[in-house]
């Protein structure tokens, strides 16, 4: 069995030979982030997909992210190390049920958070990510009603920021709903003067405690701008790897989860299905690949391009 270092070396050689690019989300394991060509949030990753001239995209993230890369680049090979890397939020919005709500509200503009399937994107007018959701909602005239899906926590947060009512789909992320409010307050009391950073997929009582609410890339930007503070970070714990590299002398503490687990923090089991070994094998075999029905791809690309134009 190869060590992580040997695997990383083999991956680096193979990706050069095959003209492949490795894109990773901040929630991936440290060793995957370190071997990637680019690590980013959902918006940054989509922008990278557009600008890359590689023939193969290895997406170290979850299924909807790799699927978005394939929608944007249907002629390229898009690989995902483990096809079972799903997302509880994307799963909370099944296409048939969503279609029914759209049909019941024909006057609503449909804005979907990028954490959803290609079928859902194909039914949307606009896609957004956590870094541009406010901007995208504000781009819609105030007299036009909005249907927002699938994340109700991000939806509620954007409603408050933009002072407009939206019809919200009842979906959520298991990782961001796993934070314990009581434990968070206790931790905060033991680090007086620390700042809480939270991802908008978190519940509103957690968001209300935060000094900064934003995407993973937004949080990293914030700590870089204010490196002398201590932080409690309420998002998936994988972010601490890159964040700590950016601010090596800053105290960063992952926000505590309700249930104690090995790291006492919140981790996305879907994201963590990807391993260095699976990444190497998928690049070697060029499998598993993301496949999308061409008629869905043609519809789903439109709201993503509109989002990229507005960002």
Q: What does the binding site for ligand SF4 look like in residue numbers (CB under 6 A)?
A: 27, 62, 87-89, 115, 173-175, 201, 236, 268, 270-271
Q: Check whether 282 is labelled as a binding-site residue.
A: no
**Residue 224: CB atoms within 10 Å:** 12
199 or 242: CB nearest ligand 13P? 199
**Min. distance of Cβ 24 from ligand SF4 in angstroms?**
13
Selection from ligand 13P, ligand SF4, none that 174 binds (CB < 5 to 8 A by kind) is ligand SF4
Neighbouring-strand partners of residue 126: 111
Selection from ligand SF4, ligand 13P, none that 88 binds (CB < 5 to 8 A by kind) is ligand SF4
172 binds ligand 13P (CB under 6 A): no
How far the first Cα of the chain sits from its last, in Å, is: 44
CA-based nearest residue to 311, from 53, 99, 80, 44: 44
The crossing angle, in degrees rounded to 10, of helices 239-246 and 216-225 is 20
Give the separation between CA 62 and CA 249, rounded to whole angstroms: 31
Give the separation between CA 87 and CA 237, rounded to whole angstroms: 16
68 or 130: CB nearest ligand 13P? 130
Q: Check whether 117 is labelled as a binding-site residue.
A: no
Q: Check whether 114 is labelled as a binding-site residue.
A: yes
- Alpha helices by DSSP H, listed for 202-293, are 204-208, 216-225, 239-246, 276-285
Site string for ligand 13P, 31-50 (x = CB under 6 A): ----------xx--------
26 or 169: CB nearest ligand 13P? 26
Selection from ligand SF4, ligand 13P, none that 130 binds (CB < 5 to 8 A by kind) is ligand 13P
Q: Check whether 226 is labelled as a binding-site residue.
A: no
**Min. distance of Cβ 16 from ligand 13P in angstroms?**
27
Neighbouring-strand partners of residue 252: 231
């Amino acid at each position: 069995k190869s060590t992580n270092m040997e695997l990383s070396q083999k991956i680096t050689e193979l990706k050069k030979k095959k003209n492949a690019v490795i894109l990773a989300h901040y929630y991936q394991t440290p060793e995957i982030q370190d071997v990637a060509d680019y690590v980013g949030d959902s918006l940054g990753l989509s922008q990278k997909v557009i600008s890359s001239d590689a023939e193969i995209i290895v997406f170290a993230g979850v299924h909807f992210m790799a699927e978005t890369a394939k929608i944007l680049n249907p002629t390229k090979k898009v690989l995902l190390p483990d096809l079972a890397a799903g997302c509880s939020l994307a799963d909370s919005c099944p296409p048939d049920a969503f279609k029914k709500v759209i049909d019941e509200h024909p006057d609503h503009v449909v804005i979907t958070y990028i954490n959803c399937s290609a079928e859902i994107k194909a039914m949307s007018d606009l896609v957004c990510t956590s870094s541009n959701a406010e901007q995208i909602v504000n781009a819609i005239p105030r007299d036009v009603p909005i249907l927002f899906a699938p994340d109700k926590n991000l939806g509620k947060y954007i409603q408050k920021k933009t002072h407009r009512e939206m019809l919200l789909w009842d979906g959520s992320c298991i990782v961001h709903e796993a934070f314990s409010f009581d434990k968070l307050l206790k931790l905060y009391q033991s680090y007086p003067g620390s700042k809480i950073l939270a991802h908008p997929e978190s519940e509103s009582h957690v968001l209300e405690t935060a000094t900064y609410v934003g995407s993973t890339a937004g949080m990293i930007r914030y700590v870089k701008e204010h490196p002398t503070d201590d932080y409690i970070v309420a998002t998936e714990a994988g972010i601490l790897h890159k964040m700590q590299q950016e601010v090596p002398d800053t105290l960063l503490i992952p926000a505590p989860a309700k249930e104690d687990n090995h790291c006492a923090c919140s981790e996305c089991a879907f994201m963590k299905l990807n391993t260095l070994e699976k990444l190497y094998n998928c690049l070697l075999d060029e499998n598993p690949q993301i496949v999308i029905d061409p008629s869905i791809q043609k519809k789903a690309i439109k709201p993503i391009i509109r989002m990229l134009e507005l960002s």
